[in-house]
Structure 1
């Protein structure tokens, strides 16, 4: 009996690979197992190799594994592409229809199961994925009935006969594998889970749920991988709370419409990926100079241009901080877990309204689309803070003068009103303006307005809790590993290995990348003999930002082939540095 295993299913995109992994994972989640999944998929709508790797454990896990225990293959390409991950003693379960063959020197044992033929006997080849799920359950020592609840949820609307046929497909797949293996696969049986109910979700859904809980009621957006799930989720949910989603003609429209929504007093967000954010840059500057709250989600993917639209990368960091022309206050938050994505999404609206500026929630593909177990979310932790906006305020009569919407104040934050508030009329323009919003090119006014805008974030570090996630038990460390976004779980995975080696290794994950949390990170760096920054890009963008803010010497571990880091890759390269 084992406490964790790694399972992967692969085939051609469009033949049910994702649903196979989904049904397999949800059933295990319902029994209380922890899961972490990463889906590799092609940028084509249909065709091209795709796979879904899912790690299952009786204890909490936060990354994919180095190796593979079970590979389920719907075609030969899946075996050829993924067999190198299979550990000694691993199992390949393949559809006998394509006459599967293990490459010479491959580890493990292969079982050919007639997925397609069994499904055809039951009425449709579409159920071959259910046969594969059944065969997998046999390897795990899991009874087919464990899937009934999930199957009923998915297929009950099609009638009880469809439910029973799918259950029969799972049962036959299990029976066939058991008969073929002859009881020789007991070593894959998982330890019993605790049975507790936990959420199983992707980062995009956590962001969408956080936005909803944080009071967002409007989302203009244009679909783009890997951000579209945020829009799709809120398309279904926002109308239930009196809100709406509008699909715009492009990202420029989405951003300017989001500015309009926030100007009117409605918490509004938009979401996109790198190419879309490039189109939004002028509008982000408009939000900056007009001091209108704006929340934008950027899910990083492989670039430049269309690049690798369905692959992992962390190369938008510099663009998010410095991409706009001119100089404006801006906040860039980088959650590192699905749970953080929920809370940071809700908090982003508070920050945007309190500081009257754009807030970018920066994620990456692995975090946005990777599905993982999440402990129950605590909605009592959430607050609604609207800063200097009071919709019930009685504004003084200004005797025909405009309201000083851009008044220069000691804290850099001007009073805020929305259209329709009596005595709150003011001018709004994208050119430099005076306190009433009227265009002005007066040098003194320009300096005063610029200083006001650029100093308003001076107190942000008092507002944003935990700008650094730190796991730093060692006062004098041999090494400090720094990362951001989805690398957190992978780094955490290898820390016990260093402990076993007798090495003192600390870990810091940057959660607020702009304004940069110097006071929180520098003490951790000062007590480490060496510092290494782990990131999915070719130029070491986070390392460059650290060096711009802290005088230091750093090492880089970079990966930019479109895949997330495996634990062993970071561990081995860190060992070389030591």
Structure 2
């Protein structure tokens, strides 16, 4: 029996590839297996090759698998594009409609099953994906009944007849494949899972759920890949707590509307990707100058311009730190797992209000859209902190006639008292130009320096626990691996393989990008013979940030990938062996 396997389904976009993977993975998740899924899809609504690769394991996995056990193909292109991932004992299950042919340079077995024909006999060709799921069950020796609950959940609203038809499609796919396999039924059977109930979600859903838990009641946003699922999740959930989502005319409006809502005391945020963040930069600067809280999610994708909208990249790092004109305090967080995405999102709203500045949650396509098993979330860890927001106007001192509230009072920690509009004795100016303590425009040199110093003091010491995820079993290492966002899982697997090779490896995943946790990282860098910084961009942006803040440039090596595909464990393993 296998402790883990990798399964992929592929075909033309729009013919049910995503739903096939969803039904397969949901059922196995409910059996207690750990899963990690990654979709390759085109930047168009219909047409173009798409596939969904799902890794199933009896233990936690956070990376795409190196190879492939089972390939389910709805067309010949799926075989041609993906067969090289199959190992020698791998299985191709292909729809007879596409008259499939197996490439000569593979030892994987090809089984031709009439997905479409069986589905049509049952009433509609749309059910061919269910036939394919059933065929997979025969290879894994999984009883088809484990899909009953999932099918009822997905198709129940359409009536029992539809549920029964889909279950029949799964059963016929199973029986047809069983006949083809003969004695090979269950040839890739998985070891039994622990049966525990866990969540199975994408990073975008975790971010949206985190925003909801943090008390968000308004999300103005404009749809864009790969951020749209955050908006779609909250469209369904926010009304139940008295909140709403507004689709704005563009990203500029989304950011400024979020600033306005936060000014009014309502927790609000927006989410986008690289092109949208470019449009938001002036508004982010406005947040910094007016000292209004603002949380923005950046789900990185291939750039520049429209670039590769549906492909993996991590090239917004420098832009998120330095993109605004002028200098403002700013916090940039980078969760590395779906679970961290939930907790870090909650914390982002606390930090935005405590430090009265923009907070950017940096994600990437693989983290945002990759679906993975998540241990149950601990809602007792959710804490709401609103900083120096004065909630009761009786706490405000009486103002003399023609006096104004010192909204931008120069304080030791840089954060000034904050009020919401309409509070008695809280009147003040709000403007994007330089201003004095009451908000009135001022071009005084002394005032300018005092206000700049005050704003920048706010982020000298950020109260953010675990700015680095550290796995450092060695006091002195041969190699230190550093990454951010979704590379954590693939680095952890490569680290295990390097340790088996006798290499002493430490690992640090950067979770607070700005202000950079130099003092926490420096000892690990100093005690390593070599440092490899692993990231999805062409210029080694994280490596450059480390060199600027930590030093030791002579021992830091760039390990970059920017072809739109995620790192695989063997790639990092091989490159690290070459490095040492």
- After superposition, the C-alpha distances for 1:405-433 in whole angstroms (9 at most, x for unaligned) are 00001111111111021110100000000
Task: Choose which of 438, 446, 450 in structure 2 pairs with 1:444.
Answer: 446
Question: Which residue number corresponds to residue 456 of structure 1?
Answer: 458
Question: Which residue number corresponds to residue 136 of structure 1?
Answer: 136
The alignment status of 1:492 with 2:492, answered yes or no, reads yes
Question: Which residue number corresponds to residue 165 of structure 1?
Answer: 165
Query: What is the distance in 2 between the residues matched to 1:190 and 1:131?
Result: 20
Cα offset, 1:390, TM superposition: 2.4
Question: Which residue number corresponds to residue 306 of structure 2?
Answer: 306
Question: Which residue number corresponds to residue 550 of structure 2?
Answer: 550
Question: Which residue number corresponds to residue 417 of structure 1?
Answer: 419
Question: Which residue number corresponds to residue 52 of structure 2?
Answer: 52
Task: Choose which of 571, 574, 577 in structure 2 pairs with 1:572.
Answer: 574
Question: Which residue number corresponds to residue 236 of structure 1?
Answer: 236
Query: What is the distance in 1 between the residues matched to 2:167 and 2:243?
Result: 39
Cα offset, 1:104, TM superposition: 1.5
Residues 16-35 of structure 1: matches in 2 within 5 Å?
Answer: 16-35=16-35
- SS of the equivalent of 1:421 reads coil
Query: What is the distance in 2 between the residues matched to 1:187 and 1:471?
Result: 37
Question: Which residue number corresponds to residue 470 of structure 2?
Answer: 470
Cα offset, 1:186, TM superposition: 2.8
- After superposition, the C-alpha distances for 1:9-45 in whole angstroms (9 at most, x for unaligned) are 0000000000000000000001100000000000011
Structure 1 stretch 390-399 or stretch 403-412: which is displaced more?
390-399
Question: Which residue number corresponds to residue 70 of structure 1?
Answer: 70
Question: Which residue number corresponds to residue 397 of structure 1?
Answer: 398
Contact 2:40 2:51 survives alignment (8 Å): yes
Cα offset, 1:185, TM superposition: 4.1
- SS of the equivalent of 1:188 reads coil
Query: What is the distance in 2 between the residues matched to 1:469 and 1:496?
Result: 16
- After superposition, the C-alpha distances for 1:58-110 in whole angstroms (9 at most, x for unaligned) are 11111111000000000000000001100111000000111101111123101
Residues 23-422 of structure 1: matches in 2 within 5 Å?
Answer: 23-394=23-394, 395-400=396-401, 401-422=403-424
- SS of the equivalent of 2:252 reads helix
Query: What is the distance in 1 between the residues matched to 2:84 and 2:176?
Result: 26
- SS of the equivalent of 1:149 reads helix
Query: What is the distance in 2 between the residues matched to 1:500 and 1:233?
Result: 42
Contact 1:478 1:503 survives alignment (8 Å): yes
Contact 1:73 1:93 survives alignment (8 Å): yes
- After superposition, the C-alpha distances for 1:512-533 in whole angstroms (9 at most, x for unaligned) are 0000000111111111100010
Cα offset, 1:397, TM superposition: 1.1
Query: What is the TM-score with the length of structure 1 in the denominator?
Result: 0.99
Query: What is the distance in 2 between the residues matched to 1:440 and 1:371?
Result: 51
Query: What is the distance in 2 between the residues matched to 1:186 and 1:24?
Result: 16
- After superposition, the C-alpha distances for 1:492-539 in whole angstroms (9 at most, x for unaligned) are 112221121111001000000000000111111111100010000000
Query: What is the distance in 1 between the residues matched to 2:155 and 2:416?
Result: 55
Task: Choose which of 555, 558, 561 in structure 2 pairs with 1:559.
Answer: 561
- SS of the equivalent of 2:479 reads strand
Query: What is the distance in 1 between the residues matched to 2:183 and 2:125?
Result: 28
Query: What is the distance in 2 between the residues matched to 1:324 and 1:500?
Result: 45
Contact 1:66 1:566 survives alignment (8 Å): yes
Cα offset, 1:152, TM superposition: 0.4
Contact 1:2 1:187 survives alignment (8 Å): no
Contact 1:391 1:421 survives alignment (8 Å): no
- SS of the equivalent of 1:182 reads helix
- After superposition, the C-alpha distances for 1:454-499 in whole angstroms (9 at most, x for unaligned) are 1111120xx1000000000101100000000000000011222112
Contact 1:10 1:52 survives alignment (8 Å): yes
RMSD: 0.7
- SS of the equivalent of 2:179 reads helix
- After superposition, the C-alpha distances for 1:102-137 in whole angstroms (9 at most, x for unaligned) are 111123101000000000000000000000000011
Query: What is the distance in 2 between the residues matched to 1:491 and 1:102?
Result: 34
Structure 1 stretch 245-254 or stretch 413-422: which is displaced more?
413-422
Contact 2:521 2:550 survives alignment (8 Å): no
Query: What is the distance in 2 between the residues matched to 1:157 and 1:186?
Result: 33
Contact 1:331 1:515 survives alignment (8 Å): yes
Cα offset, 1:393, TM superposition: 4.4
Contact 2:201 2:372 survives alignment (8 Å): yes
Query: What is the distance in 2 between the residues matched to 1:284 and 1:500?
Result: 47
Query: What is the distance in 1 between the residues matched to 2:485 and 2:4?
Result: 24
- SS of the equivalent of 1:183 reads helix
Poorly superposed stretches of 4+, deviation over 4 Å: none
Query: What is the distance in 2 between the residues matched to 1:157 and 1:456?
Result: 52
Contact 2:333 2:511 survives alignment (8 Å): yes
Query: What is the distance in 2 between the residues matched to 1:260 and 1:511?
Result: 28
Contact 1:302 1:312 survives alignment (8 Å): yes
> Which consecutive unaligned segments of at least 5 residues does structure 2 have?
none
Contact 1:58 1:193 survives alignment (8 Å): yes
